[in-house]
Amino acid sequence: MGAVILGTGSCLPQKELSNQDLEKLVETSDEWILSRTGISTRRISGKGEEAFQLGTSAAKKALAMANVMADDIDLIIVATMSSHMSMPSCACFVQKELGATKAFAYDVNAACSGFLFALDSGDKYLRVEKGKKILVIGTETLSSRTNWKDRNTCILFGDGAGAAVLEYQESEQGIVASSLFSDGTLWNLLYMHSAPSCNPDLEQAGNPGNYILMEGREVFKYAVKAMEAAINDLLLKEHVNIEAIDLMIPHQANIRILKKLVTRLGIKKEKVFINVHKYGNTSAGSIPIALDEANREGCLKRGDLLLVCSFGGGFTWGATLVRW
Ligand code: ACO
């Protein structure tokens, strides 16, 4: 049918940063953060926990579950916007760390939707290059792109990575289809500058620094509507009713966004996997981390219909159906 997920893995940094810890950094409270976002704590990278290192650990676990050797991998796609270097790509560092000598490797930047976009690219690649194996990874260290003095944003994000090994199979299993979207006209509601330009003519006026800026309320409204629309588009296209979904794994941004989405879709809340309370919003890491947890906790059994959806800066958003 399409690309089958042979194995999943995830890696979270050691260090926790709780809401109580954040109370010491900015004027906020555990009660405010929990009631507005559903987040209690998040993980923050320390030394040796760069995006490529978290991604590599997640990939090793996914390879072990899939029983695939690193040098059997043909392609590595990494979704990230917080690699320690702009060049080489994070994917090339992961390739080096894994010793995946046969693989070519590149990054995808679709902000929080990065993993879904990368998964779709991987699926399309495998439908042409049958017989190959690929690694799709979402990894972020947004702690390195956070203004720790801005209480509007610093409470939301966390670091982490997840990975999946894919292979094309002629079976009922695999990625069924995706509906993916972007709208660059809304870039200014959620964005992050690059490092300052060396060319004065290309210097961005008012570049405040290399960190996330956001119009939270607007993002909230668009996120709910856009994910709902993408899911409905996909379900209509594939002639699938929402009742047929066995598990939904949404991008873990905010519990209030998810509750609104769940109500509008009419899906039973027991079918929705949530871990935002533990890790905050890990951007491109969020879906593969949740997918790995759901998989290892036995929430998915063969033949289940899995619905995944995301929303992020760009704006970028989408939904994917997977027959497990
Ligand atoms: N602690 C205490 N007070 C705060 C904090 C904080 N951390 N942050 C903001 N406030 C204050 C504001 O200053 C404001 O005070 P004022 O009324 O005196 O001006 C008040 O709380 C209300 O601020 P709002 O921004 O209107 O609060 P809102 O209820 O909208 O919640 C939030 C803010 C949580 C950011 C919400 O808008 C949201 O979740 N937006 C979605 C953002 C998101 O998820 N972004 C992630 C990237 S996109 C994605 O992954 C989907």
Q: What is the CATH number of the domain that holds 237?
A: 3.40.47.10
256 with 127, same domain: the answer is no
Residue 227's pLDDT is 98
Catalytic site includes residue 299: no
| Residue whose CA lies nearest to ligand 1 atom number 40 | 216
Query: How far away, in angstroms, is 315 Cα from ligand 1 center?
Result: 18
- Does the Cβ of 39 fall within 6 Å of ligand 1? no
Atom of ligand 1 nearest to the CA of 257: 39
Cα 224 from Cα 250, distance rounded (Å): 11
Q: State the residue range of the domain holding 111.
A: 2-171
Looking at 171, 188, 203, which one is the last position of a domain?
Answer: 171
Domain co-membership, 136 together with 224: no
Q: What is the pLDDT of residue 307?
A: 98
Distance CA 96, CA 92 (A): 6
Q: Spell out the per-residue pLDDT of the chain, length 324, in tens.
A: 789 999 999 999 999 999 999 999 999 999 999 999 999 999 999 999 999 999 999 999 999 999 999 999 999 999 999 999 999 999 999 999 999 999 999 999 999 999 999 999 999 999 999 999 999 999 999 999 999 999 999 999 999 999 999 999 999 999 999 999 999 999 999 999 988 888 999 988 878 788 999 999 999 999 999 999 999 999 999 999 999 999 999 999 999 999 999 999 999 999 999 999 999 999 999 999 999 999 999 999 999 999 999 999 999 999 999 999
At 2 the pLDDT is 87
84 catalytic? Reply is no
Cα gap 74→224, rounded to integer Å: 36
Verify that 18 and 166 share a domain, yes or no. yes
Kindly give, in sequence order, each residue whose CB lies less than 8 Å from that of residue 93, ignoring residues fewer than 6 positions away: 52, 56, 83, 85
Does ligand 1 have an atom closer than 6 angstroms to the CB of 282? no
Whole-model pTM above 0.85? Answer: yes
Catalytic residue selected from 11, 90, 92, 112? 112
Q: Same domain, yes or no, for 131 and 226? A: no
- Judge if 191 and 164 occupy the same domain: no
User: In this structure, are 167 and 186 located in the same domain?
Assistant: no
Last-in-domain residue among 147, 171, 195? 171
Ligand 1 proximity of 134 Cβ (cutoff 6 Å): no
**Residues 12 and 158 occupy one common structural domain:** yes
Q: What is the number of domains present in the chain? A: 2
Identify whether residues 153 and 23 lie together within a single domain: yes
Question: Based on the domain organization, do 159 and 10 belong to the same domain?
Answer: yes
Q: Cβ(13)–Cβ(105) under 8 Å?
A: no
The identity of residue 282, as a single letter, is T
> Are 138 and 248 in the same domain?
no
Please check whether residues 94 and 47 belong to one and the same domain.
yes
Q: Residue 251 catalytic?
A: yes
Please tell me the distance from the alpha carbon of residue 162 to that of residue 16, in angstroms, as a whole number: 18
Domain end marker among 171, 198, 214: 171
**Exactly one of 19, 109, 254, 281 is catalytic; which is it?**
281
Catalytic residue among 19, 92, 109, 251: 251
Residue 150 and residue 236 in one domain:
no
